[in-house]
Structure 1
């Protein structure tokens, strides 16, 4: 969603604020800017990438303490010689990113509740470090920081420093928006669709996690640098676990999925607390930490009323334009395509495939083959082991025995990302997509491995040519499957049948040699099934190999070249559709059984 007029009004208001605000209000605005910069990292890490972290405050502390140690005469007595704010910023960022890299390597492989618990652990550790090292002033802190001076101009005045803080914040929002609107950003956003989906589309899941983690840490480190100059005093208290929780509150309250929600959340938390601290003592006739109780209750009420945060309520009142990705209207060269196998060439061969889960044997001695230019269907009753077979073939799971040979190479033990790069692409039994992303962006995730530009190119919008080619490929595949008119719709607004077709377009974006389709006709109407069958026939004519699992026998028998029938994890029949339909074992197990 582009809100350019609203953004221009907001920036104009920021520009004139120092001329209208009091000294106290300027102090609040500076605090909001610094806190919003840190909360922006929470939005990226938790709201976009789906990783809950309580450790942002510790990274702010690293940036602040590095600045203080280098600049305050009472620490290393280097103020006169190493008093460069740029050196303090650079070393603060370097130290913050170094810590973040080590901590990321230790914690980002954790999942579930272990990840947030891990961030709590190292957040507490860094907080303790700040308070116990004598060279850092202990819990008393460092109190003699000089004012910020840039290009010979002193920013000791709060109003001058305000412009530095908010220019840095607006720059961070611009960088984050660029990053999310790119190949790298789609990889990060794909994490919320499930790591299995992201990896199967060729995304390096750990790298995407680490990218989000390091960018969030960098924002926190810069916020620490600004904090040191704004306060001219650094102590451990603002960098503890409670502060980490506050930053998470800011993201949730403002709108955890929006970059602008970081500003709304920071402003809401700071202003609300200030107001409660002034009002409650007068109402209750006594002092105390009553604002924390009321503040907590208000947050719960707001989250019930606006689950998407306060920004969702603001958005509803702003002029809306349909979200459009950076899709070039000019013709762009197509992405390079892999050399497809010759028609009839063996693409996939499976032999002796067995997968056990404890005492349960999900697949036993499975064997099948698929050639280029052929559609093979795997059918069988529920619980026959078809989904397990698909997970084994796409390397989401690893077999206990047997061999999977794809394009002449044994792929047992490959990662889903590696096998996707080799030319195997898939859809899922239960649709896996990003409902708030556009149809075009969802499909472009499938082309992830066909691009190469990284984080810095994306953040600075230097990836224009490649991005145009990736999006053009996504549009071509959407038009190919009949969803061309829905390019800029949110994927979650499509009907279930259309979402399944979207998944096929996403799989085709990877330029595969073998397409695995898990119940592609489920939820489709009759005409949509006819269109899907026609698409699969075209793919077969182009030489693509297709392996599908499907329960709709009318759809299967009128389309495929061969059928493999499974029951209790084993192959019980294989042959032409008409042969399988007459097979007594098949009639008993599937076609004429309970289903």
Structure 2
């Protein structure tokens, strides 16, 4: 597999707590990879380390041939990796479309353009057009003028995806995109992610919902206590003894279907 993203010997500790230990991972272009593991296994820390929100203590991260482990988040976004967050925080005084447009400003650094100049007006027009298209694609046009903070939890997650897509990434990383989401909106999120992947986007998804993992992901990577213990198809998880030990202490395979990652 030709790697779009390669994580090599990455380690991260917080004080004496070794959260990631010698993590090696390759993600190929066009994959949908589910990142699983028991609570505290290091999933979110690995996502944070790849996207620049935490600095690795050791190892390196290469995206499209470029070392990125020392880059800040805004520069990593510009290389082509965007992400969402488990609990997206939305400003109280900005509408949905204003939040999406602001994401374009952050991603492309257009905020330095002088207000009122032709360049600023053109940048705003392009950002509004792009935001409108993405809000329509993710079924948020009916709420485009509402305060972003007034959205439901599921709608906020959809808006988080819109904001990430404003950067025009090639790889999208999502932290629990369906956690606490109404079933109807969950279906919208699944459909949106599958369409993005069909259009060529690579997805890495931290998720607890095993039904979602089986439905969406092409490969699963399982972390336990900072180590990768499995990389396999979703339908192979229940027969993997190391995965069973991590989740259940060796319990029955069918219980894995009920347990979250």
Q: What TM-score do you get using the length of structure 2 for normalisation?
A: 0.90
Cα distance change on mapping 1:412 and 1:454 into 2, 3 Å: closer
Other-structure match for 1:450: 108
Structure of higher RCO (CA pairs closer than 8 Å, 6+ residues apart): 2
1:429-465 CA-partner distances (Å, limit 9, x unpaired): 221321321011111222123363635x21x465222
Other-structure match for 1:408: 65
Other-structure match for 1:470: 127
> Which whole-Å CA distance do the structure 1 matches of 2:26 and 2:139 have between them?
30
Other-structure match for 2:98: 441
Q: Does 1:351 align with 2:44?
A: no
> Which whole-Å CA distance do the structure 2 matches of 1:529 and 1:517 have between them?
14
Given that residues 378 and 565 in structure 1 are in contact (C-alpha distance below 8 angstroms), is that contact kept between their aligned partners in structure 2? yes
> Which whole-Å CA distance do the structure 2 matches of 1:536 and 1:515 have between them?
10
Q: Does 1:417 align with 2:74?
A: yes
SS state at 1:558 partner: helix
Given that residues 154 and 186 in structure 2 are in contact (C-alpha distance below 8 angstroms), is that contact kept between their aligned partners in structure 1? no
Question: Which of 187, 202, 211 lines up with 1:545 in the alignment?
Answer: 202
Other-structure match for 1:495: 152
Question: Which of 68, 83, 87 lines up with 1:426 in the alignment?
Answer: 83
- Structure 2 unaligned blocks of 5 or more: 249-254
Question: Which of 547, 567, 590 lines up with 2:224 in the alignment?
Answer: 567
Given that residues 453 and 466 in structure 1 are in contact (C-alpha distance below 8 angstroms), is that contact kept between their aligned partners in structure 2? no
> Which whole-Å CA distance do the structure 2 matches of 1:426 and 1:571 have between them?
21
How many angstroms does 1:345 deviate by?
A: 5.1
Given that residues 3 and 29 in structure 2 are in contact (C-alpha distance below 8 angstroms), is that contact kept between their aligned partners in structure 1? yes
Given that residues 529 and 555 in structure 1 are in contact (C-alpha distance below 8 angstroms), is that contact kept between their aligned partners in structure 2? no
Given that residues 394 and 424 in structure 1 are in contact (C-alpha distance below 8 angstroms), is that contact kept between their aligned partners in structure 2? yes
1:110-132 CA-partner distances (Å, limit 9, x unpaired): xxxxxxxxxxxxxxxxxxxxxxx
- Structure 1 unaligned blocks of 5 or more: 1-343
Given that residues 425 and 507 in structure 1 are in contact (C-alpha distance below 8 angstroms), is that contact kept between their aligned partners in structure 2? yes
1:196-250 CA-partner distances (Å, limit 9, x unpaired): xxxxxxxxxxxxxxxxxxxxxxxxxxxxxxxxxxxxxxxxxxxxxxxxxxxxxxx
Mapping for residues 301-450 of structure 1, pairs under 5 Å? 346-448=3-105, 449-450=107-108
Cα distance change on mapping 1:451 and 1:416 into 2, 3 Å: closer
Q: Does 1:527 align with 2:192?
A: no
SS state at 1:505 partner: helix
Mapping for residues 190-269 of structure 1, pairs under 5 Å? none
Q: Write 1 or 2 for the structure with the bigger share of strand.
A: 2
Mapping for residues 507-526 of structure 1, pairs under 5 Å? 507-526=164-183
How many angstroms does 1:416 deviate by?
A: 0.9
> Which whole-Å CA distance do the structure 1 matches of 2:117 and 2:71 have between them?
34
How many angstroms does 1:575 deviate by?
A: 0.5
> Which whole-Å CA distance do the structure 2 matches of 1:381 and 1:435 have between them?
34
SS state at 1:474 partner: helix
Given that residues 352 and 365 in structure 1 are in contact (C-alpha distance below 8 angstroms), is that contact kept between their aligned partners in structure 2? yes
Given that residues 451 and 470 in structure 1 are in contact (C-alpha distance below 8 angstroms), is that contact kept between their aligned partners in structure 2? no
SS state at 2:41 partner: coil
Given that residues 92 and 147 in structure 2 are in contact (C-alpha distance below 8 angstroms), is that contact kept between their aligned partners in structure 1? yes
How many angstroms does 1:590 deviate by?
A: 2.4
Cα distance change on mapping 1:481 and 1:345 into 2, 3 Å: farther
How many angstroms does 1:401 deviate by?
A: 1.1
How many angstroms does 1:578 deviate by?
A: 0.7
SS state at 2:216 partner: coil
Q: What TM-score do you get using the length of structure 1 for normalisation?
A: 0.41
What's the C-alpha RMSD, in Å, of the aligned pairs? 1.8
SS state at 1:364 partner: strand
> Which whole-Å CA distance do the structure 2 matches of 1:564 and 1:453 have between them?
38
